[in-house]
Amino acid sequence: MGLLKQRPSISVFVFLQVLDVLTTILGLRLGAGEASAFIGSLMHLGVVPALMISKIIAVILVLVALKRGRPRIVVLANLWFAGIVTWNLALIFSQAWRNGVA
């Protein structure tokens, strides 16, 4: 079965959202910047509120995709957020190395 023909995993989606929030907060605390212009524009509300708004939007988009019979969008979202979490982890390790934490 091809990667995009797999059944979407909502639990993986939720897990990746949590990991994204946690790794973003940790990265910001270590001195990394926010790469997303959208989330960056919401940062005046605070880090956690900005991230929660972005996660609410992500959940709404996934629910709309599922309601419209587009499960492949969830698979693509999972791939996208897995990439973001990986990027966040790379930045965390990089910042920790620079700060002498690692």
49 pLDDT band (50/70/90 cuts)?
A: very high
pLDDT at 4 over 60: no
Q: Are 10 and 75 in contact (CB under 8 A)?
A: no
Smallest Cα–Cα separation from 56: which of 37, 42, 68? 42
- Asked if 6 and 75 count as a contact pair (C-beta separation under 8 A), the reply is yes
Minimum mean pLDDT range among 10-24, 33-47, 75-89: 33-47
Residue in 96, 92, 93 with CA at minimum distance from that of residue 24: 92
pTM of the model: 0.85
